[in-house]
Copies of this chain bind each other. A is one copy, B any other.
Amino acid sequence: MRARNKIRAISGGRQTLTIGQVAQLSGVGIETIRFYEREGLIPEPPRRESGYRDYPPEVVKRIQFIKKAQELGFSLKDAKELLSLRIKPNTTCAVVKTKASQKIASIDEKIQDLERMKSALAKLTTACDERGPISECPILDAVEAGIFQAQSKGEKR
């Protein structure tokens, strides 16, 4: 009953991981890892004689990146694109830069939107403090003022 078994590969000896270890370390299910492999999100790992997948530890970070990207509203396809953005000898720099700056732009947009949401929520708590004769739903007020749409037009409610 050696629970130590689980971390054997990490703490010493062998430098590779089984799929189960990868799953545990990255916080996803085994099936998800095989799914990502099928979808080309993570590379096919080498196999042992037994046919077992033999993972390098880096794959854990890659999977965590994928999960993060998803939480931030990117699809798996987006995540794949992000991960494949790299400088390869025969890729022109211009191409990489173009793609990267597109991604940066879309990230900036998300950040802006999140900031607007955040300030709407902040307004809500403030209104709560003041307990004055304030509208009963500041978020909707913000929404109705077009927080995401009319922002740059200088409109007000």
| A contact set with B: CB distance below 8 Å | 58, 61-62, 64-65, 68-73, 82-83, 85-89, 93, 96-97, 100-101, 103-104, 107-108, 110-111, 113-115, 117-118, 121-122, 124-125, 127-129, 131, 134, 136-140, 143-144, 146-149
Contacts and interface: CB of A to CB of B under 8 A. Distances in A.
Query: Is chain A's binding surface mostly helix, strand, loop or mixed?
Result: helix
A127 B87 CA distance: 9
A96 B139 contact: no
B100 A64 contact: no
Contacts of A149: 61, 64
A147 B61 CA distance: 9
| Closest CB pairs A-B (n = 9) | A86-B137, A73-B73, A65-B143, A93-B128, A61-B143, A107-B118, A100-B121, A68-B148, A61-B144
A124 B93 CA distance: 10
B107 A137 contact: no
Contacts of A82: 117, 139
Given A107-B114, A114-B110, A128-B97, A139 B72 contact: no
B124 A64 contact: no
A97 B148 CA distance: 23
A88 B136 CA distance: 6
